[in-house]
Chains A and B, each alone.
Chain A
Amino acid sequence: MNSKPYVREVSKTTWFLSHPRYQRYMAREVTCIFIMAYTFLLICALGSLADGPDAFQEFLNALRGPWGVLFNVAVLAATVYHSATWFNVTPQAMPIQRGEEFVPGHLIVGAHYGVWAVVSLIILVWGM
């Protein structure tokens, strides 16, 4: 034991820039900003729906500008990254033991992607 141990400081604001692993983590985390924003877009859609056909048309018109397209593209990128990162870690968070062995991770992940495809198809068919 010595009386002068040296403590290395870590920046509270820029620590994640130091390694690609942390950069990927922060990219995953900031998807929440896009998801929050998009959810409020949906809420606005509901509000305009409740207010009647004119209000709803106003909402659609606002959505149809270049900013509307840009926003949706940005959210799409964020939400797809969220989905992929979420599915990929599911076996770690919820391992399934059948008998002695654990269900292989790639099966669990694959099943999630499969369900994602089916659910997406249903939503797209309904929405179009």
Chain B
Amino acid sequence: MSELQKRQIQLEVLRYNPETDTAPRYQTYSVPCLEEWVVLDALNYIKDHLDPTLSYRWSCHMAVCGSCGMMVNGEPKLACKAFIHEYKEGQIKVEPIANFPIERDLVTSVEDFITKLASVKPYLIPKEDKPVSAGEFKQTPAELKKFKQYTLCINCMLCYAACPQYALVPEFLGPAAISMAHRYNQDSRDGGRDQRQEVVASDEGVWECSFVGACSEVCPKHVDPAGALQQVKVASTIDWYKEHLMPWMKR
């Protein structure tokens, strides 16, 4: 039986212990990696064999839970989707996702994102009360297709890590939260758009976005939050003109 091909990779990992450190530092580990490994496998190897004190979040290892977002060589990535073979130089820098406070090592505080996500009312608000006895909501395939893409978000926050406006203006509602509002606004079963607009159409909402597009570039599920935000801008602008030029029109 031949030995499986292994490559020695240098992982430079950010460490931060709030109990003892005043600032983060980097620690380098030498990890024997199999060809098909991802960065998460290397981190697990470190934890299992080299340094059990390393803290990081992960769960599914298949890019559906959104837990393992990290900066890998400066790029927002899911650690379970960052393949070792892509890093030909064999030097990989691993840091917590940008624009979030570091709790410990690679673990960040997600509180800001969760608060913002909740603020857009990310749930169906039916147009009118419909008792269960009245039957199910019916939806054509075309109506489903209209918002399907935006349901794929796994809340990994890579888009927040990539967004320079979120980096510069921490009050910004952000790509994923606004895309989630858009997902429900586009859903034919929903009637809650007006309620969401209070938050979404504010200065700290969609209008902080300048269409850098970095969010869509890094999104591992191809949600295209940048597209969602531009569509929200268009809809909000049409709203504004309707409100101001035709105030007698009931929406």
**A interface with B by C-beta (< 8 Å):** 1-8, 10, 12, 15-16, 18-19, 21-22, 25, 29, 89, 91-95, 97, 99-102
**B interface with A by C-beta (< 8 Å):** 16, 18-19, 23-24, 74, 98-99, 101-104, 109, 141-142, 145-146, 164, 167-168, 210-214, 216-217, 224, 226-227, 230-231, 233-234
Interface contact A22-B142, CB-CB below 8 Å: no
Interface contact A101-B230, CB-CB below 8 Å: no
Q: List 16 A-B contacts (CB under 8 A).
A: A1-B103, A2-B18, A5-B101, A6-B16, A6-B18, A6-B24, A6-B102, A10-B164, A10-B167, A10-B168, A12-B168, A15-B168, A25-B213, A93-B211, A95-B231, A97-B145
Interface contact A100-B231, CB-CB below 8 Å: no
Chain B residues near A18 (CB-CB < 8 A):
74
Chain A residues near B167 (CB-CB < 8 A):
10, 15
Given contacts A21-B217, A100-B145, A101-B145, contact A16 B102 (CB under 8 A): no
Chain A residues near B217 (CB-CB < 8 A):
21
Measured CB to CB, the closest approach of chain A to B233, in angstroms, equals 8
Interface contact A94-B101, CB-CB below 8 Å: no
Candidates A1, A5, A22, A94; contact of B214 at CB < 8 Å: A22
Given contacts A6-B18, A21-B214, A92-B227, contact A16 B164 (CB under 8 A): yes
Chain B residues near A91 (CB-CB < 8 A):
227
Chain B residues near A7 (CB-CB < 8 A):
101-102
A15 to B80, CA, bound (A): 27
Nearest neighbor of B142 in chain A, beta-carbon distance: A100
User: Top 6 A-B pairs ranked by shortest CB distance?
Assistant: A92-B227, A5-B101, A93-B230, A4-B18, A6-B102, A2-B18
Chain B residues near A100 (CB-CB < 8 A):
141-142, 145
Interface contact B164-A22, CB-CB below 8 Å: yes
Measured CB to CB, the closest approach of chain A to B250, in angstroms, equals 26
A89 to B18, CA, bound (A): 43
A63 to B142, CA, bound (A): 55
